[in-house]
Structure 1
């Protein structure tokens, strides 16, 4: 009987709206929501009804209950729909031929699968929506319901995405588990928590013991509610390194113009998500995030949602809404078991669920075994209850897992050992990796000769390899299987790119079931795999994803304590990767673990230990832990010098590292002396044109600059630049660095025009060679802005500084010393241009950050007091400003000596403070002395010296010594016009008798 209505004709838009009840299995909520929105846009009323009647209720009664509702009933059909309960096929057939056929005018259906439905569903005349576009799906839906097919009456303000259209960005969410059962109430609560949270704080943590189903629930949420998001990104968070690498991979997916360094990418991603551009509807899932350290630097804020799975209850204190994930409800347990193992009766499923405590992971394993094997349920339960196999497993540290669950896993693995030995061999090999994502395909990179005889099949027998993997996936030992991209979109990944995902609990249990001898053999294999997979170039950002993949497996495989030279080199390369990729915290932790292991293998002066110390010191220095780097390098240098025949190159490198430590610690005189020794040794040992010699020469220029010897620094830097241009060519990164150094020297020498011209050229080269987001390019942009400011640029540099600060923060982080230096310079600029509120905020931030990084006695921390004084003075707080000026002046005089340019700058500000506080005679004396020293140190025509002249003229006028004041002022104006030009802001300010000041520009080298 055909109950389909004829399409409406003219006047159909005036018809009375109808009521529809859309009935769906929870699995297909996105489809039900889309159908609801489309029908409502045509003026109809819709009620959604998630339908999963208890198995005890006869199906005809459950369908009859639907008929109690007013309106027509639209069933959303799929093969999953007919597994509800689950119920025998005969019961469905009887109900469809009975109550549904008798009420055919009330029922309609859509079909979402390409698989054959039960023959009896023909009575519903389901319209097929599988594999078609949104417009055609809407047309078929309306036609099936006999509704007008014209344009919608109204478009809803919010409408879900068509479920066949995936989100714009879909990031490695695990495949949907077609056996996912229940959890509907939890999923609905989760959605409510996320959607009702205030914008910027929608963070929910799913908490529970291992094996309770947190990951499966997060994956189901992503699939079930995918139509509500434009971006869904999955981040495996078992280890910090893999978490950060995966999190940063979202940046290119969002089209963000950033490089390959994970920290830079993460900061760019967080900023894009915070702003909601290019997408505002996003969901980020952090799976297995148990270590909360540094969470505030990773968690995104903004209009989207964050979902975390974890065992750590500390997320409640970290600001997340906590949702506890308990075991299955009994009905969920039995439904899952009967669906996965159809031969089980309801009573047998109930017995198994009781025995396994309704723990999902245990039920998955039991259902896999009972579904694949012919073992009687009674025999299986007897073995579980006796616990005979669990005696093989040490239960300590297994997160409260019941002994019955351990027995269940033991039964499976030991039976596989008998029937599928290759599968167990492969599984045992995986325990030599860290749990989570395991790049098992790397074993196929090894020559068969490097494998034991019993494992040679891993590299040479592809059919056995495939069968073993399939077996372990079918038995749910591996939660999923995927392949790493080859980088060629047209190429299919091979077995070498395969990876599996192994639950932490399964990993722990299998580890306990593996003999110590087998485990040692497997660890040796994995160490060889890691060495064979090492690309050998940690400086190449294109290879960083491979290094991030290898990093978590160093410790479990025993690679950190390996005697193998190639494995040791891989360990060092992974440490170098941490340095070059900006993963300083991970690198710091890894270096300590390596040191702990290698200290038992090598004497402290062994070349391996020296290389470790060199890399560890570089990471600590880059991370801002200057004192720790100094202690490490100092101890190593002392050990080397105590040796009767120390390696000269090792001595040279270690001494150079220690000189750098001195510079960062503010010990400028010691740093220069040590750097001069390093340079002299390098010239004698390696020759004047060796790369290390020129590097030492460059660092000597840095030391001279920090001591205020700008002319000497420029001579050295210019000489280094010319040699590098000859030997390395103009576009080499080292040559570009020398170019920045020369431009900086010229600016500090007061040659602002020359500095700007050189830096503009250097900026173009940096962009061409290194790209816009490279740290050295950002350094060049910073110096360019300072050159433009000193050269008297009339354009507003505030916008450029703000943009650079955003880029600096993305690349380095807000607390890195390079970023803090820009914060201070931006604050000085804001003060100079009248934005005192912004200036105060930025200067306070910079002062506090430098004090935390360097300590209160460091010259930069002391010099920052002068910047604070300038803000206070501009705000009219003259007494407080003078206190800051005098403290900076006195402090730097002690540490740097009275003739250092920084000290002279503090003196210039202190004299102004004395003048403004009525201490005119004292101000004049300080100004006169400062001018005298500036002429000797910087020269009579340096812009700073001329500022000192203008300041002295102000003090003389305050004391009514007009004749001398006039002569001093006239000399200053003539020299300024000749040096900077009559239209330079500095010259014009002096002509207008504006009291000059000195900005402290923090510079660490």
Structure 2
């Protein structure tokens, strides 16, 4: 199968700014607007008078309507057609907007809403973010005075639809939904269910007469019309099959009834009565078989309609891409599985080798099936251009012989893979469509996708969830995949190990670091035993384990493992292999986390050059490398370089991944930190508040990334002097971090450290000292005495000692911090300058005035050269030095007590 490893969790806590570009000039809206498109009404559509009375009553009372069939199951009673009739009626009666949204998938709903937002010029919908545009559209619907109708067709999950159910506070709009479900969650809250069943005898008779008369074939309606409608169970879908067949084949009701009764007799052999759970599936199956027989006779392209229908029946009824039918797997399958015509069956001798089926012939077969009402082919509706009714699909599957399913399943899976873009993040609507089709295929043919091993499509769909930043869905998916692989292939099969490896990655992306580490360690042991220590899959697991160690703050273990992995991948896979680039990038991240910034920078520059050359400048992995390089620039004190690069990454990430992808949120967080470094405090606050709202909505209030965002916002408040707000936020984050991440997690230590800083700023010196002594002891034990975060804890504790009058204790700690920073970060790093500035302050407090002035003069010269004359830290140093020279005691400057840094 080939291992599907998924992405490596190497994204650092980076922040991203929304780039507010000037939106393109909008064309004037021409009303009315139709978005969908709304399905055409079937010829001879019946108005369903009794049903419409219930719908009209609900509409008059201002309620939304959910059309639900009397029996749950495959459908076929005409719900969507009735909804389409209401859409047409709304436009005829003066509605200014009609939106038709397929509601089986959240991505499809968002796509239609975003398209509608663009069409009607909704303020704030700029086309850069699908979800934001969709939400803006819902807000516009709620308040507009324009008349509108939104149809949510084929609701399959009430939970998915609930956030996207529009409301109209002005009373000018209403919502109509269709569903096969009888679920109480779809009603209430201003929604009423209206049951819809089969035609009445009068409606069925009227349908047949009108449909046939519309084709100038009213002569086909004879005395057996009533018996035919009764035999078909008055089911609209079956009557539609029958009418199309009668028109195409010039058959009277009597003649078709005879064929149908003969087919029903034959059907007893292939579809037992017990298989018809809904009570009308047999009628659809019989009409399907008759229509197929007729379509085969009409097929001039080598009898392709049967294999085409069987393939379509394994996919998502809501639709799949039309491009699927031009793929090599599909055309090869159709070439080898043409259905023989009666003429060919009568021929003597071996048949000549058939010519290869072309994409044009495959599409002609689709159009023929469309003509016989067996599926819908509408290229305007890409990526769901080819749709098949769920009940028709079920009938097609039930009449497919068991030995035919494995080849069909493999062909469909291969074709889905061929049309799947890489990367798929820039194509969210297509990616969501392909995932739902993969799910449908797996539902109908799961065991065949696990023989002789797991099909790559199964792994690709799971990786797509990870890459789309959907960690909860990815975790559920890989848990199911692990169970399936264990059942079909066994616990030690390489595919099972790959599933467990990907599940561990999903845990890490979901913030469950300890689950990720435990599972990675288990998988590594198993892969070393089964595959060997140098196998590429073993190297991938070792790399992912190193990443998890790094995320959990176990930096020394991450570096040791990362260096081993990089050496092995360069030797075994080569220097340009994607896994080697991942390993090199991750090792650079570990070096940066350990404060070894001058080792990190050249590695990241090399990875960026390689990825731009191999993958292209806009590939998600290239964007990840670029924002990690920006993070390293910031840590090296190159603040403006970091901001410039992060803003470039932001624009690319919003366009390529979307503004709510976890990588985008991470980039935005790093930009906040860089703004703080540059003294752009209000920019940092505005961006942090925006990110926090997004993170809480997308990831949840307790996700590690949300906690990180809340920490960044508190730091922004702190730098702005809003100390009470900072303390309240940090106390909340600390409680959440201790509960979610654990009391010893590096992020928990950071929060505790920042809270101590805020206590100090608020004048709560002893509270700050108590908390900071705890942080320092934990960081020395967990991170080591020379880790940058340990140095920061030591620095801040020294400041508290000085504030409490323990001047010599402060000087001892600060001299140690300065020596460490000069050695680790270099003499001109901003943090080194801060350490030198703090030491000068303590010297002066101890009465060593000239030592203090000499040291601060050195700091001022370095600050002006490195940070600039107008940087807040440079201004602060200049003010303090001026005061000291005038021999005026200046314990504080600028009205706010300053610590040189946080976190």
Name the TM-score, length of structure 1 as normaliser. Answer: 0.64
2:284 match: secondary structure:
helix
Does the C-alpha gap of structure 1 residues 685 and 466 become closer, same or farther in structure 2, counting only changes over 3 Å? closer
Of 804, 813, 817, the match for 1:934? 817
User: How has the CA–CA distance of structure 1 residues 174 and 779 changed in structure 2, closer, same or farther, with 3 Å as cutoff?
Assistant: same
1:901 aligns with 2:788: yes
Aligned to 2:40, which of 156, 162, 175?
175
TM alignment of 1:571-582, pairs within 5 A: 571-582=458-469
Per the TM alignment, residue 467 of structure 1 is displaced from its structure 2 partner at its CA by 7.7
Q: Does residue 193 of structure 2 align to residue 323 of structure 1? A: yes
The alignment status of 1:483 with 2:366, answered yes or no, reads no
Q: Distance in 2 between matches of 1:781 and 1:468?
A: 47
Matched, 1:236 2:102: yes
* Residue 87 of structure 2: aligned partner: 222
Mean Cα displacement is larger for which, 991-1000 or 661-670?
991-1000
Is contact 1:801-1:826 (8 Å) kept? yes
- Of the candidates 982, 987, 996, which is equivalent to residue 898 of structure 2? 996
Map 1:222-301; keep pairs closer than 5 Å. 222-226=87-91, 232-238=98-104, 265-274=130-139, 284-292=150-158
SS of 2:155's partner is: coil
Task: Find the counterpart in structure 2 of residue 548 from structure 1.
Answer: 433
**Aligned partner of 1:437 among 319, 326, 330:** 319
**Contiguous gaps of at least 5 residues in structure 2:** 1-28, 298-304, 342-353, 881-891
CA deviation vs aligned residue, 1:21-63 (integer Å, no higher than 9, x gap): xxxxxxxxxxxxxxxxxxxxxxxxxxxxxxxxxxxxxxxxxxx
Residues 1:690 and 1:217: Cα distance change in structure 2 (over 3 Å) = closer
User: Residues 94-243 of structure 1 correspond to what in structure 2 (within 5 A)?
Assistant: 167-168=32-33, 170-177=35-42, 179-182=45-48, 183-192=51-60, 196=62, 209-210=72-73, 211=75, 212-226=77-91, 232-238=98-104
Partner residue of 1:78?
Answer: none
The question of whether the paired residues in 2 share the 8 Å contact of 1:718 and 1:742 is answered with no
Structure 1 residues 900 and 243: CA distance shift in structure 2, 3 A: same
Query: Taking structure 1 as reference, are residues 246 and 962 closer, same or farther at Cα in structure 2, changes over 3 Å only?
Result: closer
1:555-608 Cα offsets, whole Å, 9 max, x none, are 156377447999934444444444444455555455455545555676777766
Q: How far apart are residue 433 of structure 1 and its match?
A: 2.8
Question: How do 1:553-702 residues align onto structure 2 when only pairs under 5 Å count?
Answer: 553-556=440-443, 558=445, 561-562=448-449, 568-599=455-486, 617-643=504-530, 647-685=534-572, 692-693=579-580, 695-702=582-589
- CA deviation map 1:874-925 (0-9, x unaligned): 7899998888667655654553345543345456666778999xxx46x768
CA deviation vs aligned residue, 1:607-626 (integer Å, no higher than 9, x gap): 66666666555555444454
Q: Check whether the contact 1:931–1:945 (CA below 8 A) recurs between aligned residues.
A: no
Hey, what does 1:454 align to over in structure 2?
Answer: 340
Unaligned runs of 5+ in 1: 1-163, 487-496
CA separation of 1:527 and 1:388: change in aligned 2, threshold 3 A: same
The alpha-carbon deviation at position 660 of structure 1 amounts to 0.8
Q: Are 1:409 and 2:409 an aligned pair? A: no
Deviations 1:156-207 (A, max 9, x none): xxxxxxxx966445123322345141333333345456xx47xxxx796857
Q: How does 1:58-97 map to 2 (within 5 A)?
A: none
Shift of 1:524: 5.0
1:93-152, Cα deviation, whole Å (9 max, x unpaired): xxxxxxxxxxxxxxxxxxxxxxxxxxxxxxxxxxxxxxxxxxxxxxxxxxxxxxxxxxxx
Q: Is the 8 A contact 1:273 1:279 kept in 2?
A: no
* Residues 808-819 of structure 1 mapped to structure 2, 5 A cutoff: none
**Residue pairs, 1:327-406, within 5 angstroms:** 327=197, 330=200, 336=207, 339-340=210-211, 361=237, 373-376=251-254, 393=271, 401-402=278-279, 405-406=280-281
Distance change in 2, residues 1:293/1:642 (3 Å): farther
Contact 2:507 2:513 in 1 (8 A): yes
Change (3 A) 1:679 1:251: farther
Counterpart secondary structure, 1:288 = strand
Residues 743 and 361 (structure 1), Cα distance of their counterparts in 2 relative to 1, 3 Å cut: closer
- Give the SS at the match of 1:181: coil
TM-score (ref. length: structure 2): 0.70
* Residue 669 of structure 2 is aligned to residue 787 of structure 1: no
Distance (whole Å) between structure 1 residues aligned to residue 570 and residue 508 of structure 2: 26
How big is the shift at 1:501?
Answer: 2.7
Distance 1:885 1:756 in 2: 31
Aligned to 2:15: none
Measured after TM superposition, the shift of residue 866 of structure 1 is 4.1
Given that 1:437 and 1:499 are in contact with CA atoms closer than 8 Å, whether structure 2 keeps it comes out as yes
Checking the alignment, whether the CA contact within 8 Å between 2:228 and 2:253 is kept in structure 1 is: no
Give the secondary-structure state (helix, strand or coil) at the position aligned to 2:340. Answer: helix
Q: Does the CA-based 8 Å contact 2:679-2:872 persist in structure 1? A: yes
Q: Is the 8 A contact 2:569 2:580 kept in 1?
A: yes
CA offset digits 1:357-406 (Å, max 9, x no partner): 8765566567777888523499789969x9996786456686x623xx23
Query: Do the aligned residues in 2 keep the contact of 1:618 with 1:629 (CA within 8 Å)?
Result: yes
- Residue 501 of structure 1 is matched in structure 2 by 387
**Any idea what SS the aligned residue of 1:995 has?**
coil
Q: Which residue of 2 is the match for residue 714 of structure 1?
A: 598
Q: What's the CA shift for 1:670? A: 1.9
Query: In 2, distance between residues paired with 1:396 and 1:815?
Result: 49
Partner SS state of residue 436, structure 1: coil
Which residue of structure 2 aligns with residue 74 of structure 1? Answer: none
Shift in CA distance, 988/598, structure 1 to aligned 2, threshold 3 Å: same
Contact 2:815 2:839 in 1 (8 A): no
User: How far apart in 1 are the matches of 2:601 and 2:403?
Assistant: 60
1:826-867 C-alpha deviation (Å, 9 max, x unpaired): 332134325578757865786677667645542213422444
Larger radius of gyration: 1
Q: SS of the counterpart of 2:319? A: strand
Deviation at residue 659 of structure 1 after TM alignment: 0.6
Q: 1:258 to 1:675 in 2, by over 3 A?
A: farther
Shift in Å, 1:313: 1.4
CA distance in structure 2 between the aligned counterparts of 1:349 and 1:453, rounded to whole angstroms: 32
Matched position secondary structure for 2:387: strand
Aligned to 2:23: none
Q: Does 1:757 align with 2:757?
A: no
State whether residues 629 and 661 of structure 1, in contact with CA within 8 Å, keep that contact through their aligned partners in structure 2: yes
* Partners of 1:667 and 1:406 in 2: CA distance: 60
Describe the shift of the 1:555–1:902 C-alpha distance in structure 2 as closer, same or farther (beyond 3 A).
Answer: same
1:973, 1:987 within 8 Å by CA — same for their partners in 2?
Answer: no
The superposition leaves residues 287-318 of structure 1 with CA deviations (integer Å, 9 ceiling, x where unpaired) of 33323455566667787765543315152589
Q: Which has the higher contact order (CA 8 A, sep 6+)?
A: 2
What is the aligned length? 799
Q: Say if 2:183 is the partner of 1:313.
A: yes
Q: How does 1:863-902 map to 2 (within 5 A)?
A: 863-867=750-754, 888=775, 891-897=778-784, 899-902=786-789
Q: Secondary structure at the match of 1:323?
A: strand
| Alpha-carbon distance, 1:680 to partner | 3.1
Q: Is the 8 A contact 1:265 1:810 kept in 2?
A: no
- Deviation track 1:512-552 (CA, whole Å, cap 9, x = no partner) reads 34443454554455345445x43573458359727834534
Is 1:977 matched up with 2:889?
no
Shift of 1:484: 5.6
**8 A contact 1:268–1:810 mirrored in 2:** no
Q: CA deviation at 1:278?
A: 13
